Amino acid sequence: MAIPKALLLAIVGCICLCSSAVLSARELGDTAMVERHEQWMAKFNRVYKDGTEKAQRFEVFKANVAFIESFNAENRKFWLGVNQFTDLTNDEFRATKTNKGLKMSGGRAPTGFKYSNVSIDALPTAVDWRTKGVVTPIKDQGQCVATEGIVKLSTGKLISLSEQELVDCDVHGVDQGCEGGEMDDAFKFIIKNGGLTTEANYPYTAQDGQCKTSIASNSVATIKGYEDVPANDESSLMKAVANQPVSVAVDGGDVIFQHYSGGVMTGSCGTDLDHGIAAIGYGMTSDGTKYWLLKNSWGTTWGESGYLRMEKDISDKSGMCGLAMQPSYPTE
C-alpha cells in the first residue's frame, strides 16, 4: 500500500519540527538572549565585522545583562540598565569613555573662591539649573556645561558651545575638550582663545582634526577666568552649585557608571578621576537621600535621560566617585 504523499509530508514535517523544538528547548536561554542582542544591535546601530566578532560581543552582552539583572535584584537606591555600552567589557569601556591616560594632577594652582562667605543656611534646599533655562540639551559627546551656564547667567543667552573647537584647537594637546584631563585647562584655553564659537558653527566630528582657525576666531561666548572649589568639601561645592553649574571630575570608569540607569548612586566607587561632568543642582529624595544632580555627555540613552544623581554629603570627603576632589567653575 502506497503512503499518501500528503501524509508523508506531514510525517517528515513533524520530525523536522520536533527535532528543532528539542534543539531550541536546549538552547532556550540563549535563544532569548540572541534575540535580545539582535534587537539591541538594531537599536544602537551596532554592526560587527564578522560572525566571530558577533559571537564574542554576544558573550560580553550576555555577561553584562546577567550582572545588571543580579545587581537590580538587590533593590538598592539606584539601578542599572542595558545601554549603548552593554557589549563592552568594563576594561574596554574605561579605555574608550574615560581618560585613564590623562591623569588629573592633584596640584592645582591656587585660585580664589568667591562663594566662601556664602551662608550654607541661606542656600535653597534644592537646585536644578535645567528649570532656569541654563542647561543645553544632552549631547552625545564632551560638554561645556559650566561655561554654557555662566554665559547664560551673565548674558541671558543659552548657547550650545563647540566642543570640537576645544578638541581641535587647544594647544595643550588635551584632546578631550571640556570633558577630559584637567578641566581647568579647558577654561584656560577658552580665556586665551577669546571664547568659543557655537556648536552649529563648528560641529562635533568625533575625531581630532586640524584647528579651523577662521571659524575658531568667531567666538560667541567667553569667560574671564575660573576658580577652584576648595577640594574635598561638599559644603563648598554646594555653595558654588547653588550659584552656577560647576565642572566636576569623577571616576567614571566603574561598572556601576557604565550601566547606571537611574536612582541615587551610592556605595563604593573609585576616586581615580578620569571623566568630566557637570554638577547642575542638588536635592533630596522622598526617602531623605541627599543627592547631586549631574549632567553627563553620553547621550540620552545613558542614565536618567543623560543625567545622573549621586549621593551628596557622604562620609568620604572625596565625595561619591571623587566628585568633591577637583570641582571648578568659570567666572565672568
Ligand X SMILES: *[C@@H]1O[C@H](CO)[C@@H](O)[C@H](O)[C@H]1NC(C)=O
* List of residues contacting ligand X (CB under 6 A): 114, 116-117
**DSSP three-state, residue 121:** helix
Q: DSSP characters for 196-230?
A: B-BTTTS---SS-----HHHHT---B--SEEEEPP
Instruction: Using the structure block, give the residue that is written with the C-alpha cell 566578532.
Output: 53
Closest to 279 measured CA to CA, from 302, 235, 317, 310? 310
Nearer to ligand X, 116 or 217 (CB): 116
Q: Please state the closest distance from residue 134 (CB atom) to ligand X, in A.
A: 23
Closest contact distance (angstroms) between CB of 281 and ligand X is 23
Question: Judged by CB, which is closer to ligand X: 31, or 116?
Answer: 116
Which run of H or E residues covers position 186?
Answer: helix 183-193
**DSSP-based three-state secondary structure for 175:** coil
Residue 92 has a CB neighbour count (10 Å cut-off) of 13
- Cβ 281 vs Cβ 237: under 8 Å: no
Calpha distance 220→90 (Å, rounded)? 39
CB contact at 8 A, 208 and 114? no
Residue 121 or 287 with smaller CB distance to ligand X: 121
Query: What span, in angstroms and rounded, lies between the C-alpha atoms of 308 and 301?
Result: 12
Burial group, residue 183, by CB count within 10 angstroms (0-12, 13-18, 19+): buried
Residue 145 and residue 270: Cα distance in Å, rounded?
24
Of the two residues 228 and 254, which places its CB atom closer to ligand X in the complex?
228
Per the structure block, which three cell numbers stand in for 260? 547606571
Cell 556605595 belongs to residue: 267
C-beta of 113 vs 302, nearer to ligand X: 113
CB of 326 to ligand X, least distance (A): 20
**String of b and e for 272-283 (b: at least 16 CB within 10 Å)?**
bbbbbbbbbbbb
28-43 helix and 5-26 helix, angle to the nearest 10 degrees:
80
CB of 82 to ligand X, least distance (A): 47
**Least separation in angstroms between CB 230 and ligand X:** 12
- State which residue, 97 or 239, has the beta carbon closest to ligand X: 239
To ligand X, the closest distance from the beta carbon of 210 in angstroms equals 42
Closest approach of ligand X to the CB of residue 253, in Å: 35
Nearer to ligand X, 26 or 114 (CB): 114
Residue with cell 532569548: 32
By beta-carbon proximity to ligand X, the closer residue of 111 and 261 is: 111
At closest approach, how far in Å is the CB of 320 from ligand X? 27
If the CB atoms of residues 19 and 116 are measured against ligand X, the closer one turns out to be 116
Residue nearest to ligand X (CB): 117
Q: Residue 227 CB, nearest distance to ligand X (Å)?
A: 10
DSSP state of 109: P
